Amino acid sequence: MAESRIIFSGGKLLDGLQAAREGVSVVVAGKRIAAIEEGPVTSGPQDRLVELGGRTLMPGMVQGHFHACFGPCGVGQPGPVLGLEASLPYMGMLAAKNVPTALHCGFTSLIGSSNPGGLDCSIKDAITNGVVEGGRFLACTSEFVTSGAPEDGTNRSWFMELGNLGLIRRLDGPQEFRQAAREEIGRGCDVVKLSISGGHGTSAAQEYCNIRDDELRAVVEVAHDRGKLVRVHCPSKVGILACARNGVDIIDHADRIDAECVDAILEADATVLPSMLWNARFLQIAENWDHDAQPFPIGSGFPEVRDDTMERLRGVRAEYDYTCEAMVAAHEAGVRMLTGDDFGFPMMPHGDYVSEFEIYVKELGIPALDVIGWATRNGGQLVRREGDLGTIEVGQLADLLVVDGDPSEDISCLRATPLAILKDGEFIAKRWSATEA
């Protein structure tokens, strides 16, 4: 008996490569896309026909910077409270909620970012074993930092040894970096995360690297030998140049990107993840805060007087305004971009993913079609480097969404839960009563 196929027709096709097309049929057989044809397709009695009725078929999206365990921890502050003082079991419960949330928002793949206690590897196992419903998941390591770096949690509590290291792992020297990368990859991680310099947080970027070239290279060699990725928290110019020149795959944030950085990134074929919703939301809180009524609760990590706070916040604003222009220039110069951000804070909860897309399209003026390409084609290239994910082409894996409206005309239509989600050619969700035989 012939294999049952799923045939989508009568809608728009956004394939992740070009503008939306109408009147195209897409045939899924097994896990993959078997045919794409102009006009209707001759179907057999065993085929499932899905009449799209003007809706849009597009690739499943990739959330490229996913902190699975960030979420409400009962502190109740509006700002960036990480919640990393919560217990690991509690963070596991947050992850078990956040992973299916992302899937049902249309993100059929997730690329992890730093997390404590090997949590990402457990999530990957839970998805594989059907304990948690989730998409493809690249597990990330803890965040590798050096002693005294801004994320070194012992900086301000050294005298009483009170440091809660949370998700960071403090390392010094190439040997320690190499050993940590080997160990965490050995436990199942697919991505190694490092933090090279301060910034992209509550302060403007610092222009020196906390991680030396030999430390960075040690991690990149270990990861690439094993077919794994390296991502780096990297808001500074010197950091971007160091990452590009030492083979880092994902340069997170890249706030101070400029023409010299763009050349180095293009030469290295690296990917940039701007994650600019964080900055926008942080500034929204900071600039609407009544600083006369009470001190701003989100500090640099050190005690500071009001004038210092105001100067620090002006620095964050200036950097954001710079990045809004520089990121557009980098995109136009051909830098490969990826979507994803630090979701899970009270100011940007999990599920609010499309707000990031809206920053690029509505504030920066980047075409919606390009941003869709970041979330689909570019993400797919990182999740599956052999290149069979992220676009709708014959032979690609059938991770697909049916959405109401055309996101290339109005990116905000992605805010609505997709009407259908397929992973590996199977329906995970289908929420409308399409004509279906």
Interacting residues with Zn ion (CB under 5 A): 113, 342
Q: Taking the complex as a whole, how short is the minimal distance between the CB of residue 65 and Zn ion, in angstroms?
A: 6
Shortest Å distance, C-beta 68 to Zn ion: 11
Classified as helix, coil or strand, 104 is helix
Non-local CB neighbours of 183 within 8 Å, separated by 6+ positions? none
Cβ distance to Zn ion smaller for residue 41 or 62: 62
| Residue that the structure tokens 């999990």 belong to | 350
- 382 with 250: CB under 8 angstroms? yes
Backbone angles phi, psi at 43, to 5 degrees: -110, 155
Looking at the Cβ atoms of 12 and 169, the one nearer to Zn ion is: 169
- Supply the minimum distance, in Å, between the C-beta of residue 383 and Zn ion: 18
Report, in Å, the least distance between residue 110 CB and Zn ion. Answer: 13
Q: Measured from the CB atom, is 8 or 343 closer to Zn ion?
A: 343
Lookup result for tokens 């340069």: 251
Smallest gap from residue 278 Cβ to Zn ion (A): 8
Residue 165, helix vs strand vs coil: coil
Q: Check if the beta carbon of residue 116 is closer than 8 Å to that of residue 167.
A: yes
Give 47 or 184: the residue with its C-beta nearer to Zn ion.
184
Least distance between Zn ion and beta carbon 67 (Å): 6
Of the candidates 16, 44, 9, 12, which has an alpha carbon nearest to the alpha carbon of residue 399?
16
Distance CA 77, CA 83 (A): 11
CA diameter of the chain: 76
Q: Of the two residues 249 and 342, which places its CB atom closer to Zn ion in the complex?
A: 342
In the bound state with Zn ion, the residue whose beta carbon lies nearer, of 184 and 342, is 342
CA gap 74, 437 in Å, rounded: 49
Strands (E), 10-55: 12-13, 21-22, 24-29, 32-38, 48-51
Q: Which helix (H) or strand (E) holds 88?
A: helix 88-104
Residue type, 77: Q
Nearer to Zn ion by C-beta: 342 or 358?
342
- Looking at the DSSP bridge assignments, the partners of residue 250 are 231, 271
CA angle (338 as vertex; 336, 344 as ends), nearest 5 = 160
Q: Which is nearer to Zn ion, 113 or 376 (CB)?
A: 113
Task: Give least dist CB 265 to Zn ion, A.
Answer: 19
d(CA 41, CA 315): 58
Shortest Å distance, C-beta 351 to Zn ion: 17
